[in-house]
Amino acid sequence: MKNTAIIVGGGLGKRFMGGIPKQFLPLGERPVIVHTVEAFQRSLSIDAIVVVVPAGWEKRCEAELKPYAFDKIQGVIAGGETRQLSCQQALHFLKADPPHIVVVHDAVRPLVSQELIDAAVREGNEGMTFGLQAVDTIVECLDGEITRVLPREELYQIQTPQAFPFQTLWDAHGQALEAGITDTSDDPGLVLRAGHRVKVLVGDPRNIKITGPVDLELAQHLLRAR
């Protein structure tokens, strides 16, 4: 049974305030997206890869990946206006010959380990995600004032990769669209809404998401530490 990774990088990275999407920024000697795809290329648990990039950036992505001869890449496709719609584009791309398990991963988490990828595939039959338990106090605010202090022992910061049976994720996305939902930030929320359980496994604090300059600087240090 085939396991396919969906590398989701359909956003333009507006929070970074840069001229290009952050998945194309240099990390060491290669773009971020190359590090991310390479991790799944190396994985013995992954059979195929679909890369989702902002519309108009497909050729740029193909050019960045071409020197590395990543033979698992099944397609480089344009994403939608939101992360949810970008993932759905990939599901449509795969629908004609669907894999058993889909592993969804942020393009801007380039330091994902082989251990996390293997665990995602292994546990993906029931739906899973990784998460880190909150260590700081988390509060709700309104108009700049605290309205409620949340119990941090019940709060987790969710990471990718996340894995699901293809049909489970396909159905969850379809139900969301029928309900007019198009901007959910994470696939587990859609799967939960569709009536399925999603388990949370312990993530890795080094599996950072690059959303700003400080994250990129930290990723440079972590990459050198490897």
19-33 pLDDT, tens per residue? 789 999 999 999 999
What value does the mean pLDDT take over residues 117-128? 96
> Rounded distance, CA 85 to CA 19, Å?
23
182-226 pLDDT, tens per residue? 999 899 999 999 999 999 999 999 999 999 999 999 999 999 988
Asked if residues 159 and 119 have their Cβ atoms less than 8 Å apart, the reply is no
**What pLDDT, on the 0 to 100 scale, is given for residue 81?**
92
> Rounded distance, CA 198 to CA 212, Å?
29
99-120 pLDDT, tens per residue? 999 999 999 999 999 999 999 9
Strand ranges inside the chain, DSSP E: 3-8, 26-27, 30-31, 48-53, 73-78, 101-106, 128-133, 138-142, 145-150, 156-165, 199-202
Asked if residues 79 and 106 have their Cβ atoms less than 8 Å apart, the reply is no
Prediction pTM value: 0.94
- Please give the residue range of the domain that contains residue 81: 3-225
157-177 pLDDT, tens per residue? 999 999 999 999 999 999 999
Alpha-carbon torsion (8, 176, 46, 111), positive or negative? positive
Query: Which is nearest to 181 in space by CA: 54, 79, 88, 78?
Result: 88
Q: How many domains is the chain built from?
A: 1
CA angle at residue 136 from 152 to 21, to 5 degrees? 110
pLDDT at residue 180 above 80?
Answer: yes
Tokens in use for 169? Answer: 């994720």
Backbone phi, then psi, for 101, in 5-degree steps?
A: -115, 135
> Rounded distance, CA 48 to CA 94, Å?
10
Tell me the CATH number at 112.
Answer: 3.90.550.10
pLDDT at residue 15 above 70?
Answer: no
